[in-house]
Amino acid sequence: MLEKTRKFKERYDELTELVMKPEVIADNKEWKKLVKERSGLEELVETRDEYEKVLKNIDDNEKSLQGETDHEMIALFKEEIHDLKKKKEELEEKLQILLLPKDEDDDKDCIIEIRGAAGGEESALFASVLMNMYIRYAERQHWKYEINDISETELGGVKECSFTIRGKDVFSKLKYESGVHRVQRVPETESQGRVHTSTTTVAVLPEAEDVDVEILDKDIKIDTYRSSGAGGQHVNKTESAIRITHFPTGIVVTCQDERSQIKNRERAMSILKSKLYNYYKEQADSEYAQNRKNQVGTGDRSERIRTYNYPQGRITDHRINYSIYNIEPFLDGDMDELITALQTADQQAKLEALTEK
C-alpha cells in the first residue's frame, strides 16, 4: 500500500513547495489550480502517513517482543500488536477507497431541478416538500442556496423549480438524489382519508465552471418577460425575468427570482452552462447517459429510487434496499444517514469492480 501511494505523496510534497513560490503566487489562476490539486491529495497523504507510522509501530513492538521474557510485558506487547494490526486493516481499507477514481464533479456546486410527475396537485405539493428538504439539508451543512426559478400552484405546491446549492463537496453528497421519488400519504386534497401514491422527479446537475463550456452569442436567443407567481399574479411590473434558448441543443433556461434583469441573466447563463456541460458529458459517455436515463426516467409510479411512506413513517431507498424510520426529521433535512449509506454502497461497488478486473 505504501508503494501504491508513493507517487501521490511525492506529488503532494512537490505541490507544497510550488504553492509557496513567489512566481506561482503571482499567477493567481495557476496558484488556485495547484492549491485545489494539493487539497484533493491531502486526506490520502495524511492517511498514508498514519499508515506508515502504524507499520513502524508494529515492527518495533514485534522486535521488542522477541527479546522479552517477562510474561506481563509479553501480554502487553501482544495486545498492542493486535490493536495496531486492526488499525492497519482499517487504514488499508480507507486508502483503497481514497485511491478509487474520483468523479471529477464531486467538488462542484450543484443545481437541483424538481418537477411534479404522476399525481397531479399532490405531486406538486410533495415537490414543495422535497425542495424544502434539500434547502434544510443545505442549511444544516452550512451551504448556501439560491432559488433560480419556481412555478407554484394555487394550493402552494411546486409544478417545477430550480435552485443552486454551493459549498464544500456539494455534488459528492447530493448526486445520489437524481431520480424518481415516490410518496405514499393521505393528500391534503383527499376528504375520505385514503392513501394516495404520487411521484416527483429530481435532477441534480454539477454547476459548470467558466472553463467547462463555451457559449457562442450566435447560438442563443435571450428573451425578457415579467416574473409571475401562482395564479398568474405579477411579482413585479418590469421585464426582469430571463429566458435563454440554446439553438444547437434546444435547451431552454428561465430565471425570474431576482428583481434585477442583469442578475437573472447572469444566473440563467450559469444554469445554461451547467445544462450544456451535462448534455455534452452525456453525449461523450453513453454509459453515463444510460445511468441518467435510469435514474430520472419518465416520472411514472413504477420508476422510482426512493419511497416516502407517511403512514409507516418510513423512507426506503430501493437502490440499496435501505430503510429508515424517521420520516419527519429526514424531511426536515436530517439526511446524513441515508446519504452516507449511499456513498458507502457506491464505494463498495467500485472496489468490487476493481477486484474483478
pLDDT given for residue 248 in this prediction: 86
Beta-carbon count within 10 A of 173 CB: 23
pLDDT given for residue 250 in this prediction: 87
Q: How far is CA 253 from CA 71, 172, 247, 290, in A?
A: 75, 24, 12, 23
pLDDT given for residue 190 in this prediction: 66
pLDDT given for residue 85 in this prediction: 94
What is the helix (H) or strand (E) element at residue 146, kind and residue range?
strand 144-152
109: left (phi over 0), alpha (psi -120 to 50) or beta: beta
pLDDT digits (tens, 9 = 90+) for 259-316: 678 888 888 888 888 888 877 777 666 554 454 444 434 444 446 899 999 999 999 9
Residue 191 DSSP one-character state: S
pLDDT given for residue 217 in this prediction: 81
pLDDT > 70? residue 356: no
pLDDT given for residue 310 in this prediction: 93
Task: Name which of 9, 3, 21, 94 is nearest 45 in CA terms.
Answer: 9
How much is the average pLDDT of 37-49? Answer: 90
Q: Which of 10-19, 64-73, 250-259, 329-338 has the lowest mean pLDDT?
A: 250-259
Mean pLDDT of the chain: 83
The angle subtended at Cα 129 by Cα 205 and Cα 316, nearest 5°, is 80
Cell numbers placing 349:
461497488
